[in-house]
Amino acid sequence: MLVIGTHMSIAQGLAKAAENTVGIRANTMQIFSRNPRGSTYRTYTEKEIQEFQAIRREHQLGPILAHAPYTMNLASGQEKVYEFACTVIREDIQRMDALGIENIVFHPGSHTGIGVEAGIQNIIAGLNQAITKQQQIIVLLETMSGKGTEIGAVFEQLKEIREGVKYPEKVGICLDTCHVFSAGYDIVHDLDGVIEEFDRVLGLDLLRAIHLNDSMMAFASHKDRHAVFGAGEIGMEALERVLNHPALKDLPFYLETPLDDMGHKEEICMIRNRIDNP
Ligand code: FE
Ligand code: FE
Ligand code: ZN
């Protein structure tokens, strides 16, 4: 059975997000690990955590994905920015792991002028002060569109980060269909070729999650704007091939499309109707 969900707001709490997931006929979800544009987080009460775990169990939700805040830049050469990012990733790995969340994804970051190599070394050091041998949660590097000085738009850079860390077995990849397309990987005309390339450079066993988005922006534009499933430059048929691909079909899919809960419910229903293993 397809494991699919959407990005869910945690404004009303963790249990409410899980409840809404069930309400839109999804069977997994992505949540922010803290306030996405700020630095704060709320401590969950024991009661709320128990409610959250009960919904997960009762409805057999698939792997839950936490997303680190966008304000965090682990590639930065500016001391204040970098230290903030180190603190956030360290705390959020620990916080999300304590909740039994399976994966946490983050944007590798933008080097903002210090160069790709220096940026990658900062990311590696930042991960090394955050990842512990005991943690269960896997930290996912997201494939990026490559806007500005963004790191992670080519698979080789993600490989270099992973191979640089002390516990590479705790690091995996989240592939964002919108981002790889705008980064110049042609998943529309050559999905097999892109998957082979991913396997050759990184290894398919590292792929733990798919962000299932269409793209408002053209192929290889290096611009990051998500479109509703089938309504962008990637299109319905190419996204269906992603969902049905033997190497991908058993992974959890997360929609980050610009819709409300009702819209997502319809989007998920439409997707389930169009695939081989609904
Ligand atoms: Fe992301
Ligand atoms: Fe994404
Ligand atoms: Zn994006």
Q: Is 80 helix (H, G, I), strand (E, B) or coil?
A: helix
Q: How far is the CA of 209 from the centre of ligand 2 (A)?
A: 10
Q: Report DSSP state, residue 154.
A: S
Q: Is 242 helix (H, G, I), strand (E, B) or coil?
A: helix
Q: How far is the CA of 211 from the centre of ligand 3 (A)?
A: 9
- Residue spans of beta strands (DSSP E) within the chain: 3-7, 28-32, 65-67, 103-106, 109-110, 138-142, 150-151, 171-176, 207-211, 214-215, 226-227, 252-255
Q: With cut-offs at 50, 70 and 90, classify the pLDDT of residue 241.
A: very high
pLDDT at 78: 98
Q: Is 105 helix (H, G, I), strand (E, B) or coil?
A: strand
Ligand nearest to the CA of 108: 1
pLDDT at 268: 97
Q: How far is the CA of 225 from the centre of ligand 3 (A)?
A: 6
pLDDT at 37: 83
φ, ψ for residue 149, nearest 5 deg: -105, 25
Amino acid at 268: I
The separation between CA 174 and the C-alpha centre of its own chain, rounded to angstroms, equals: 5
pLDDT at 278: 83
pLDDT digits (tens, 9 = 90+) for 180-207: 999 999 999 999 999 999 999 999 999 9
Q: How far is the CA of 60 from the centre of ligand 3 (A)?
A: 28
